[in-house]
Structure 1
Amino acid sequence: MGNLTSISIFGFWANWTPFFFVGVLCVITLYFLICGKWYKDIPGGRPLKKGEAIVFVILMLVIYLLEGGPVNILSHIIFSFHMLQMAVLFLIVVPLLFYAIPEYIIKYVEELPVVKQVVQLFTKPILAIILFNGLFSIYHIPLVLDTLKQDAVLHDLYTIILFISAWFMWHPIFNRHISEEEHMSSIKKILYIFFIGVLLTPSCGLIIFSGTAMYDTYTSGQAWLGAMTLCVPPDTLNSVVQGSGISGPEYFTNFTPLEDQQTGGVIMKVMQEIVFGIYLYIIFMNWFRYERKNESQITEDSLKKLQEQKALYNQFR
């Protein structure tokens, strides 16, 4: 029986994916070129804020650790790490990208031909919630997950689609390129987040309360080896298996497959509750500050609406 650090037997390339790291560095470089050097060529461009740059670099490094670093290889071995990967990527990284990428860039991209129509359609609140949660639930149907874990192209494509759908889902709340008047009201944002949590609950509940381990990828030696080819070069994997006799994920953890599965569901649900609680607190405090700052204007507007309603009522008496 090994432990989590035993993944070092798969070698440096499998654990750290250098090519993916180079890709992340290219994205970071492009970000600073666009936001720091070429921003004047984009309508509404402004100098990059230090906070935006720091958050973006951190998020890119997090994405690297999740999809190219040790967390990625662990997510193919242990279901709990798969759910941790999902939670951080879609519930934390995607929303924070709205604060890391300057609003004028998002606006410019979203107003491009075709992109504009797609964004307008898929960021409609109800559709956006249903789309992401539907795709997330379908992903965790045993047949679907086991199939995706056996094919690198299908797995990467589905992950990208999930990422885009998560962007659409968080767009109505966190986008910064539209005026405050066009945004959802604070109470609607609170209800929106609440319903996201409600729709995530069934898939988490099924995973947590299932009486059996549902995924062949994490229980069957043959399926597990097929999944490992997504992150470990075949030659390296064959060499490790022949040299160590490893036949499944049990070598790396003391959890049974069912315990691992249940732990993964709990991780997703607990992280969702914590993250959503933080988002709700931020929204509520912004709402409170706005009410305090504009108290006289809000009172004046309310009185004006009341007078208009009264005048309309008197007109039809």
Structure 2
Amino acid sequence: MSLSIFGFRALWSPYLILSLIIILGLYFMLTVVYRKRFKNSEPLKKVQAIQFTGSIIILYVIKGSPIDLLGHILFSVHMIQMAVLYLILPPIMMTGIPNWVWQSFINLPIIRPIFHFFTKPLIALILFNGLFSFYHVPIIFDTVKMNETLHVTYTAVLFIYAVFMWWPLVNKLPDQYQLNGLKKMGYVFAGGILLTPACALIIFADTPLYQTYADASSWLQSMSLCVPTGTLSNLNLSGPQLFTDMPVVEDQQLGGVVMKIIQEIVYGILLGQIFFQWFKKEQKDSDRINEEALKAFQNSKIHEPRPIK
């Protein structure tokens, strides 16, 4: 059966695309039109504009296109959404925001203590991975998926904690604590380990864990989050099996595998970048130290008293 039966609004989320266009417009107004009103502001770089615009496009594709609808039918697609939304999107969006904007935001009296606390590496790692794992506990997952307010709230909160988790890796503000190369590598390794139990629970389960993908009535209730109630009530649907031949357990296991593979790819690329940046910095420092030592040795030779003949 085709997804087109759910209608244009469910497939393309016009309200979301309108909201994202407004956000993008506000971004350019802040960073270009009204930039000079902020102290220490700098011109927007082309790469930053591309990164932020790209992140908005990715956000729409993941949460506003037919992929979002498909994510309510296939658990594996839902896990792809989760991986992109929390492991790929945040660093792209964050690096697209100029440092002076971050500085102005973080220095707000209300924000500063909160941001300082939740971006501490250990706290950020534990809270994000804890919330992610907590979300995939079956009873919690099904409850959230069947309630629009809970779903929107949990998604937003988890994204905020993903930003906190990514901050120690992308932060370049001079007055903010920054991890060095080896600590960054340890941070990434720890993140990969902490996410493993949730993926393992899903991969090795041999029975359906989530009623919103296995039970027809629960599935229909979860579908109401992205399909207008009027449209859904006019359709005679018996469950997600109408749209896929994949068994529920296989789809569930595939979802866990896909999530772990995407995480390994993202973290692997990140580790490579961190290692080469660290190695390059160490090489420069080593060259500088050798150069200074050579100059000091040469100067000592020049000022060395000559023996009297």
Q: Give the secondary-structure state (helix, strand or coil) at the position aligned to 2:234.
A: helix
1:284 aligns with 2:284: no
Instruction: Show CA shifts across 1:91-113 (max 9, x none).
Output: 01011122111111011101101
| AA at the equivalent of 2:96 | A
Q: CA deviation at 1:178?
A: 2.6
Q: Which residue of 2 aligns with 1:266?
A: 257
Q: Which residue of 1 aligns with 2:185?
A: 190
1:33 to 20, 29, 34: 29
CA distance in 2, matches of 1:42, 1:77: 46
Q: Give the secondary-structure state (helix, strand or coil) at the position aligned to 1:253.
A: coil
Q: Which residue of 2 aligns with 1:218?
A: 213
- Residue pair 2:12, 2:65 contacting (<8 A) in 1 also: yes
1:175 aligns with 2:171: yes
Q: Give the secondary-structure state (helix, strand or coil) at the position aligned to 1:212.
A: coil
TM-score (norm 1): 0.89
Distance 1:111 1:179, change over 3 A: closer
Q: CA deviation at 1:207?
A: 0.2
Distance 1:294 1:141, change over 3 A: same
1:162 aligns with 2:158: yes
Q: Which residue of 1 aligns with 2:225?
A: 230
Q: CA deviation at 1:299?
A: 5.6
Q: CA deviation at 1:47?
A: 0.7
- Residue pair 1:98, 1:176 contacting (<8 A) in 2 also: no
Distance 1:196 1:301, change over 3 A: farther
TM-score (norm 2): 0.92
Instruction: Show CA shifts across 1:267-303 (max 9, x none).
Output: 100000001011011111111221222323456899x
Instruction: Show CA shifts across 1:1-28 (max 9, x none).
Output: x3xxx21110110010101100000001
Tell me whether 108-117 or 222-231 shows the greater mean CA deviation.
108-117
2:119 to 110, 123, 127: 123
Q: CA deviation at 1:192?
A: 0.1
5+ long unaligned stretches in structure 2 = 294-309
CA distance in 1, matches of 2:32, 2:289: 39
Q: Which residue of 2 aligns with 1:296?
A: 287
Q: Which residue of 2 aligns with 1:133?
A: 129
Q: CA deviation at 1:171?
A: 0.6
Instruction: Show CA shifts across 1:232-269 (max 9, x none).
Output: 0011011122xxxx211111111100000000000100
Distance 1:222 1:44, change over 3 A: same
| AA at the equivalent of 1:78 | L
Q: Which residue of 2 aligns with 1:309?
A: none
Aligned ranges 1:65-144 → 2 under 5 Å: 65-144=61-140
Q: Which residue of 1 aligns with 2:246?
A: 255
2:42 to 35, 46, 52: 46
Q: CA deviation at 1:168?
A: 0.5
CA distance in 2, matches of 1:299, 1:203: 49
Instruction: Show CA shifts across 1:145-172 (max 9, x none).
Output: 1000111011000000000000101111
- Residue pair 2:146, 2:221 contacting (<8 A) in 1 also: yes
Q: Give the secondary-structure state (helix, strand or coil) at the position aligned to 1:135.
A: helix
5+ long unaligned stretches in structure 1 = 303-317
- Rg bigger for which structure? 2
1:56 aligns with 2:67: no
